[in-house]
Structure 1
Amino acid sequence: MTRYRRDVFTAEMLRRRADVMIEVCASFEAELREVNGVDDHVHLLVHYPPKMAVSKLVNSLKGVSSLYLRKEFTGRVNRAIMHGHFWSPSYFAASCGGAPLAVIRAYIEQQRRPT
């Protein structure tokens, strides 16, 4: 989620965010299998090594994407509104080992994207 659930993302920002997150996952030997989002938050389906701390991956995904999005979309991301932070400090992560991957992918794909 973005800080204070502000509507920040545009379709162009979501595309760029996905590119950055794919690179971050690759650096962790993880695979970003599905990504989508709405105006104020994103959904990711990530396959990562079992010994990896998910908190480290999430912190890196947030940190690196924040850096690039702030730099490339400065006019859209008002630093004063965010009080120096792009993302909310919280996140939700769940295992989907028992659910069919197609169901998870369909849920993420069906998220409303900004126009």
Structure 2
Amino acid sequence: MSQSLVKNYVHIIFSTKNRVDFIDETIENELFSYIASLCKDFESQALQIGGTDNHIHILCLLSRKIALMKLVQEVKAHSSKWIKTKAEKYENFFWQDGYAAFSVSPTNVNTVINYIKNQREHHKEFGFKTEILNYYKKYQIEYDEKYLWD
């Protein structure tokens, strides 16, 4: 094959350090827009970004030119630096070290978009810990509990 053709939808989840409630509704739209522009800079179009006060979800079409780990690293580094300049209350903002990422079938993209759009509503029923553990179970991901909540 003389050309490289790739279409990888990836659902990325990561939280604020120690799940501190930093992402309030006054900053979230601007933060999500900024993260979308970062994804675009790395040729990984963000289809939907959402979250709650202590974590975010990104559904993107991962570029064939960047490793997932590098994209997450760049998004976290640049957005963390950016948010610290927005107001004094964000000066101590940090993202957690790790992240979770899951492949998404093209047939499930709309379902994931709707799920991400409604994060605040979902989390009236259950917390981040329940959510992420459900994803690990669904995707059969083995994990060490001692590293989950540091």
TM over 0.5: yes
Q: Deviations over 1:65-94 (max 9, x none)?
A: 101100112x22252xx6xxx100010011
Q: Which structure has the larger Rg over C-alpha atoms?
A: 2
Q: Distance in 2 between matches of 1:111 and 1:69?
A: 20
Q: 8 Å contact 1:2–1:87 — kept in the other structure?
A: yes
CA distance 1:52–1:97, change in 2 (3 Å): farther
More RCO (CA 8 Å, sep 6+): 1
What do you get for the CA RMSD once the two structures are aligned? 1.6
Could you tell me which residue of structure 1 aligns to residue 117 of structure 2? Answer: 109
Decide which structure has greater strand share: 2
Deviation at 1:50, TM superposition (A): 3.2
Q: Distance in 1 between matches of 2:40 and 2:65?
A: 16
Selected match of 2:90 from 63, 68, 77: 77
Q: Secondary structure at 1:34's aligned position in 2?
A: strand
Could you tell me which residue of structure 1 aligns to residue 38 of structure 2? Answer: 24
Q: Distance in 2 between matches of 1:100 and 1:43?
A: 15
- Output the amino acid matched with 1:77: Y
Q: Distance in 1 between matches of 2:65 and 2:41?
A: 15
Q: Secondary structure at 1:95's aligned position in 2?
A: strand
Q: For this pair of structures, how many residues does the alignment match?
A: 107
TM-score normalised per structure 1: 0.84
Q: 8 Å contact 1:20–1:64 — kept in the other structure?
A: no
Q: Secondary structure at 2:59's aligned position in 1?
A: strand
Q: Mind listing any 5+ residue stretches in structure 2 that lack a counterpart?
A: 1-14, 122-150
- Output the amino acid matched with 1:108: I
Q: Distance in 2 between matches of 1:100 and 1:18?
A: 22
TM-score normalised per structure 2: 0.66
